[in-house]
Amino acid sequence: MVKTWKLSIPELTGRERRRAYVYLPTMYKAQPRRRFPVLYMFDGHNVFFDSHATHGKSWGLGEYLDFFDVPLIVAAVECNHHPDNGRLSEYSPFDFTDPEFGSVTGRGEITMKWLTHTFKPLIDRRYRTIPWREYTFVAGSSMGGLMSLYAVTKYNELFSRAAALSPHIWADKDRVLQLIRTTPLTPDTVIYMDWGSEEFGEQQQMKRDLRRLTDILLDKGVHLTARVVPWGEHSEASWEKQIPFFLDTLMYGLEG
């Protein structure tokens, strides 16, 4: 079951309202005393419904979770759709320059403060969550993947596991790598990352950057799953196919 409602993020867009989504697992009503881990996701409009998705194709995550009876709550919020770099700004921890959109002011830290200080407490109050760090995860793709890496690093005391699909570390590669290199991470941190082979093209530097990122995470002692998806692309259709892989990583050792 996916519940939707409207909320505002005053710190980012004032009184403007956007959709929020919460998926409740199949056994939620049947087991009224049971509590569940929570996965927080970026780009909530692309997670569940094709009719809400930017390009008419969602991840279809709800159907997958229902079919396999996964004991997980998923909470997500729609991105900023403003044409003036709204999403790029809200999903970047750093200022950067984009070749297509120009100068972008990074407001990702504001986004994370709202998510951790307002949205997470709201979800914990309304639903039977397990609010502890060990059962609190974060996931996203592209800029949302970058934010997932940022969240599990900068807010490691709140998020123990993260899935970053096609994370756009190139918004500011050097600052991303430096942040991860210098920030203490709890040894039980779990990170899943993947990229589609078709995203690289002939850009060998991208592959070198991703090897550097992988090496840094391994040196930090985190439990890392990193994949290059054969013929994978930068699209919801491709990310949907990775659901079994990243969910297995996020839920490993917690089911039952």
Q: Assess if residue 228 is contained within a domain.
A: yes
Q: Work out how many domains the chain is built from and give that number.
A: 1
Specify whether the CB–CB gap between 38 and 116 falls below 8 A: no
Task: With respect to residue 38, please indicate whether it lies within any of the assigned structural domains.
Answer: yes
Tell me, what CATH number does 103's domain have? 3.40.50.1820
Q: Which domain holds residue 26?
A: 2-251
Q: What is the value of pTM for the model shown?
A: 0.95
- Flag whether pLDDT at 140 surpasses 70: yes
Give the model confidence (pLDDT) of 53-64 as tens digits.
Answer: 988 999 999 999
pLDDT at residue 40, as a whole number? 98
43 lies in a domain?
yes
Residue 14 lies in a domain: yes
Has residue 31 been placed in a domain? Answer: yes
Q: How many residues does the chain have?
A: 256
CA–CA–CA angle 7, 192, 82 (5° rounding): 30
Given a cut of 70, whether residue 256 has pLDDT beyond it is no
User: For residue range 180-219, what is the model confidence (pLDDT) as tens digits?
Assistant: 999 999 989 999 999 999 988 778 888 899 999 999 999 9
pLDDT for 171 equals 85
CA distance 182 to 170: 18
Residue 42 lies in a domain: yes
pLDDT tens track for 76-101 = 999 988 877 889 999 999 998 888 77
**256: in domain:** no
C-beta of residue 123 within 8 angstroms of C-beta of residue 39 = no
With respect to residue 74, please indicate whether it lies within any of the assigned structural domains: yes
pLDDT range class, residue 172, cuts 50, 70, 90:
confident
Averaged pLDDT score across all residues of the chain: 94
